[in-house]
Amino acid sequence: MPRARFRLLAAMLATTLLGSAVHGQQPVYFAREAAGVGDPNPYAEDGVYSVFYLQNKGRHPWWLTQTSDLATYSTPVEAIPVGEPGAPDYWTGSGSVVRAEDGQYHIFYTGHDPEARPKEVTMHATAPALGGPWQKQDGDTFAGTPAYDEWDFRDPFVFWNEEADAWWMLMTTRHSEKAAIGLYTSADLETWSVSAPLYSEVSDLNLEVPDLFPAGEDWFLLYSDQRGNSRQVRYLSATSSDGPYAYGPFDALDGKAFYAGKSAGTEAERLLFGWVPHKQLRKDAMDFVWGGDLVVHELERTGDGVLGVHLPDMLRSQFDTARQKAGLDATDLGQADTPLLITASLDIAKGDRFGIALTASNSGRVSSIALDDATGEARFLYNGDTNFAPSVRYPVPEDGQYRLDLVIDPVLGLGILYINDFRALSFRYYKVAGTNLSLFSDTGFTALEGTVFTRSRDIEEANNG
């Protein structure tokens, strides 16, 4: 099937699903693009998160939406259009947004022309305001050769590095036959000097959409792993911006149903924006495809060189109505036919397997979010199928105590489990609205307290509908 026709079909399917999944209710996450989004490139200023993203159709032009509460988003507008045939940005790719001292805004983005050589270049646009108008600065375009690769040279991430007293630009590229995060420096955002890679490792595929920020006494380097067997957002840490960078014992922040994570904010509140991928033909049993629904985690330094993720407070506060309680004698959580936040504090026996069962009302088939205390791994299994199953590792608590936060968005057909305010497990389940939820434990919980929360606005909309 021609690519354009496939994209049109996908968009039609997505629109149908959005309209029919949970009639009249608003999704938890951004849903102003029927086909979902590509890579987000967030920028935070004065309490507003400006989320520039690649539109998941056409040749991925840059679009912009803004939010200050993660509940409402502005109407998306185009920021950077794709170029004409023969232009280096015939396709556009990921990048970043910064503000210079003079108040001018700058976007550095990937130009991609599959027929050109070099195939990928870094391009530059400026604007007096985040909403534009954005003016492409074609004369600032540059390629990676000879220091870096001419084929893989994308995702420029620019920020002011106070430690180095210079602008830094990180790059997804290759160097000496390794996957690399390249480095350039500048004093003025116009002239860039090449440096040795900030980090590199042996890999046939790449370390995509890099991100770097300080927190406490550490620097955290994030990237999205392009390799199929470890397609996750991972991080390394160092005590200085120039490294050396090293992995920790739990380097993946989420499973493979969360990709292209980029952060924005301050040390007090740093949000991680990424997408939960759609599936082929929008079928739950199929494999993931590129692009999906925009979701948000909150990042937090939890120790020396250690980075955790948890549910953002702005999302938690939206779930303001307790629907029911859970306990040792009340493990049924009800139907997932409305947006839900389920919180649970529980104790289990050492080595137990436990979690949340999602039982389809029409067939009785059981999907599950299963945590294995023996291995320290959480997995989402659709109908028990291990194919395409997202998973994430977490540190097993010595005392057997767990705190879980589960967000269900039945409108978009996805969910996110947060484990001990440290790791997340995102998953795609289009038909989750037709399931009944329950807690389970192979050996039995020794303690359990929980609450199922809904949003009062959904109740009001239902009553007025």
CA distances from 26 to 18, 49, 99, 336, 456 (A): 10, 20, 33, 14, 12
The single residue listed with the structure tokens 């480095």 is 183
Is pLDDT of 16 > 60? no
Burial of 327 (0-12, 13-18, 19+ CB in 10 A): middle
Residue 421 is which amino acid? Answer: D
Percent of the chain exceeding pLDDT 70 equals: 94
Task: Dump pLDDT digits (tens) for 50-73.
Answer: 999 999 999 999 999 999 999 999
Q: Which residue has the higher pLDDT, 207 or 22?
A: 207
Predicted local confidence at residue 462, as pLDDT: 66
CA distances from 34 to 11, 226, 415, 428 (A): 6, 25, 18, 16
On the question of a common fold for 25-314 and 321-456, the answer reads no
Token pair for residue 270? 């740093």
- In this structure, is the dihedral angle defined by the CA atoms of residues 30, 33, 36 and 40, taken in order, positive or negative? negative
What are the domain boundaries of the chain?
25-314, 321-456
Predicted local confidence at residue 458, as pLDDT: 87
Cβ atoms of 338 and 25 within 8 Å: the answer is yes
Pairwise CA distance, residues 63 & 52, whole Å: 5
Which residues, in sequence order, are CB contacts of 410 under 8 Å at separation 6+? 21, 22, 25, 336, 337, 338, 339, 432, 433
Predicted local confidence at residue 23, as pLDDT: 57
Mean pLDDT of 239-263: 97
CA distances from 449 to 37, 86, 302, 395 (A): 37, 61, 25, 22
Choices 3.30.1490.20, 3.40.190.170, 2.115.10.20, 1.10.3720.10: CATH for 25-314 = 2.115.10.20
Cβ atoms of 63 and 35 within 8 Å: the answer is no
Is pLDDT of 460 > 80? no
Task: Dump pLDDT digits (tens) for 280-300.
Answer: 999 999 999 999 999 999 999
Pairwise CA distance, residues 104 & 191, whole Å: 16
Reported CATH class of domain 321-456: mainly beta
Task: Dump pLDDT digits (tens) for 186-197.
Answer: 999 999 999 999
Task: Dump pLDDT digits (tens) for 331-375.
Answer: 999 999 999 999 999 999 999 999 999 999 999 999 999 999 999
Pairwise CA distance, residues 443 & 387, whole Å: 26
Predicted local confidence at residue 188, as pLDDT: 97
The single residue listed with the structure tokens 């037709």 is 434
The rounded mean pLDDT for the chain is 94
